[in-house]
Amino acid sequence: MTLVLIGAGSVSAEDHSDFFEGPFNSGPEVTKACLECHEDAATQVMGTTHWTWESEQIIDGKKVLRGKKNVMNNFCVSVPSNEPRCTSCHVGYGWKDANFDFSDQSRVDCLVCHDTTGTYVKSAAGAGNPAGYTGNAKFDKNPVDLLKVAQNVGVPERDDCLVCHAYGGGGNNVKHGDIGRALIEPTKDVDFHMGTDSLDFSCQECHTTEEHNIAGGSLIVSPNNTSKVTCEQCHDNSPHNESILNQHSAKVACQTCHIPFYAKVDGTKMTWDWSQSAQRTKENMEEIEHGHKVFIAKKGRFTYEQNVVPEYRWYNGTADAYNFGDKMDPNVVTALNEPLGDINDVNAKIMPFKVHRGKQVYDTTNNYFITPKVWGPKGDKEAYWNNFLKKDPQEAWKVASAAGMKATGLDFSGNIGFAPTETYWSINHMVASADKALECLDCHGDSGRLNWTELGYKGDPLGK
């Protein structure tokens, strides 16, 4: 996948032609030129999770460093040993292994957030370097004109955010379900806040930014959610004309009623079964759902859905989380992140989630999940994606698992199996207009969408 900015305009561009004369032979050269005027910018960026990919958090009563750098999910699993591919969206240049220098200011990528030309391209496996500057001929065929981009930088627009956030998990709208390229120029039917025919909000309207620190974080990388974006930033706790609706707001999150469906335009991935990788046939290689392949030989089998009804859980603003090396039971579903809260929790509200269900490799002797090395450059004899057809797939998995676990610092027994997992992705975008919000009988009554017993009620509270 090539990461391309789609539809970027020049509304917020500022003419920097007098400041940048070029030529530039690398991204870091551009950054050094930027810092001649914006002296504190790199230092500010380097203090954010966009740069560090980790933050100090409390999980199960323990203080840990957690973030994209060391989290496990049930998509491509983990960063260690896969850095050049995973870090293609890092706001830096050259994070290709564990030796990346996080203190080098010239490694900060200013252009990825401030491009207004729509021509700045991060290569898919270039360790964050733009096309033309990776050292790999495959990724350097169409080099970015760094001087042109630098001379036309401006305030970040939706395109700059979504070029990475919309493509997590390997494709448009794949991971989150409510964050896809449809949000670049949506109508109000897609998202009332961002609709070009309604409020036309920028991302920063809600994701407030100060000294390059942007509010917000996904539940899997930030279980403590210390940098929250909430509806209450703009709306008070009693926004409705009907008192019964305002009473609901004490126990029901705004998103529950005001985001009836997600993945409104593009399908989103709902399941990923790694155990079926390599099991290709002519028929399964040709299957398509909502514009996506549902079988890819090196990755396994998927399912996709569109216009999806969320699943609902109690959520008090924090979550439990699986950490590298945690013991698991292969006979039950392991939640790699799970929203906390229940019916008796005074801080919890019913919240909508996308639940992505996976089946992924684990160590059958040590009973913990494996961080496999899936990606590698051509000729890499450890990466699963290079070797799954060259040798027995089980053996390819073992080689990839050994390499990945070495990078993670965990023992590998040499024995593998596959076990079920799930991850939770809170639904916050694709807000409906007030007239399309859920009504009473959408949740209550014989055909209501809420599972009341699962939420801890004896039955539908309206029926009492």
Reduce the DSSP state of residue 363 to 3 states and report it.
strand
pLDDT at residue 335 tops 90: yes
Give the mean model confidence (pLDDT) for residues 159-179: 95
* Chain CA centroid to CA 191, Å: 19
Give the mean model confidence (pLDDT) for residues 282-293: 89
pLDDT at residue 8 tops 70: no
- Residues making up the chain, counted from first to last: 464
> For tokens 């949740």, what's the residue?
443
Separation of alpha carbons 5 and 151, rounded Å: 17
For residues 262 and 389, the model is more confident at 262
pLDDT for residue 12: 61
Give the mean model confidence (pLDDT) for residues 317-333: 96
Kindly report, residue by residue over 425-455, the tens digit of the pLDDT: 999 999 999 999 999 999 999 999 999 999 9
The contacts of residue 42 (CB under 8 Å, 6+ apart) are 31, 35, 105, 106, 108
Task: State the Cα angle at 227 between 222 and 228, rounded to 5°.
Answer: 95
Q: Is the dihedral of CA 412, 414, 419, 422 positive or negative?
A: positive
pLDDT at residue 74 tops 70: yes
Contact of 16 with 114, CB cutoff 8 Å:
no
pLDDT band at 284 (very low <50, low <70, confident <90, very high): confident
Kindly report, residue by residue over 202-231, the tens digit of the pLDDT: 999 999 999 999 999 999 999 987 788 999
Q: Can you list the positions of beta strands (E) in 70-153?
A: 121-122
**Stretch (H or E) spanning 321:** strand 319-321
Calculate what percentage of the chain has a pLDDT beyond 90: 85
Kindly report, residue by residue over 346-373, the tens digit of the pLDDT: 999 999 999 999 999 999 999 999 999 9
Q: What is the CA radius of gyration of the chain?
A: 23
pLDDT band at 11 (very low <50, low <70, confident <90, very high): very low
Q: What are phi and psi of 240, to 5 degrees?
A: -100, 155
pLDDT at residue 3 tops 60: no
pLDDT at residue 9 tops 60: no
pLDDT at residue 36 tops 80: yes
In the predicted model, what is the mean pLDDT of the chain?
A: 93
